[in-house]
Amino acid sequence: MNPETRSSHHPDPGYAARRVYFENLTGLLLAQGLDGQRVGNLVAELDSHLEMTHADPIEEFGPVGELAESLVASSGGGRPGRYLAAQVAFGVSLGTAGAALLALTSNLPGHGTVTFHASMVANITAIAIGLWAMTAKGGRSRTGRSTISFPPARWFIAYLVFVVGVSVLTSGLNWEIPTAVGWVVLAVSTIASMATLRTAVLLQRIPVPGQASHLRNLGWGWMGR
């Protein structure tokens, strides 16, 4: 849901800016390995501070990327990336499911085997990593109120080059597998992608102490937008 839409019923006019700021902060702290409980505590505390000062979050706390780095460093650093691992695992399993579906739907009647394209798995994984990197970079933006920005065109060119490169490099990694195995791969990878997606969502649903119920279920990075 769009934060602006949610904020239309909130009495505080600065709510939308705060919500965007804290969503970004949450994503960055999780991506840098802070556990959900700690993140919930920090965000609720900062929100409580803003309730009292009525200040703009960027004026009071500075750019969200700098604050996240500072808080992670002060908290003794985080464990790298259960959140990142969940997103990459989601990318891999989705890519595998896509490759299996492609293999099965392109199977000619009467053939006992299907061709499983490894390049699809590689490309979907690259998309997952790229989107995560985009979120992290956007969060470190030093200017402007919105901290998630649309990537510049050169990123898409780089992305296309990367996708084509990966496809060429992995073109020899296609396997002939029995159709029945293809169905099993499709089923397992579909279940895995749903499970990893759910894990990624749960990792961003952080417990918020106190009365800050409006901070529950903070958006979760690129997929929440």
Partner 1 sequence: MADDTADDLQNRWFRGALEACVLGTLRAGPAYGYEIAGRIEAAGFVRPKGGTLYPILARLEGERLVEPKWMDGDGGPSRKYYGLTPAGAATAEETAQHWNRFANNVSALLGNTVRSRS
| Binding stretches for partner 1 (CB under 8 A) | 41-42, 44-53, 55, 59-62, 66-67, 70-71, 73-76, 209-212
Under DSSP, is residue 214 helix (H, G, I), strand (E, B) or coil? helix
Burial (CB count within 10 angstroms: exposed 0-12, middle 13-18, buried 19+), residue 174: middle
DSSP letter (8 states) at residue 170:
T
Q: How many CA atoms lie within 13 A of 213 on its CB side?
A: 2
Query: 184 is written with which tokens?
Result: 């099993």
Closest contact distance (angstroms) between CB of 51 and partner 1 is 4
Min dist CB 159 to partner 1, Å, is 33
CA-CA distance, 16 to 40, in Å (whole number)? 18
- Comparing CB distances to partner 1, the nearer of 140 and 222 is 140
Residue 44 C-beta: closest distance to partner 1, Å? 7
With 0-12 / 13-18 / 19 or more C-beta atoms within 10 angstroms meaning exposed / middle / buried, residue 126 is middle
Nearer to partner 1, 44 or 114 (CB): 44
Nearest CB to partner 1, comparing residues 111 and 216? 216
Q: Which is nearer to partner 1, 46 or 92 (CB)?
A: 46
- Shortest distance in whole angstroms from residue 4 CB to partner 1: 22
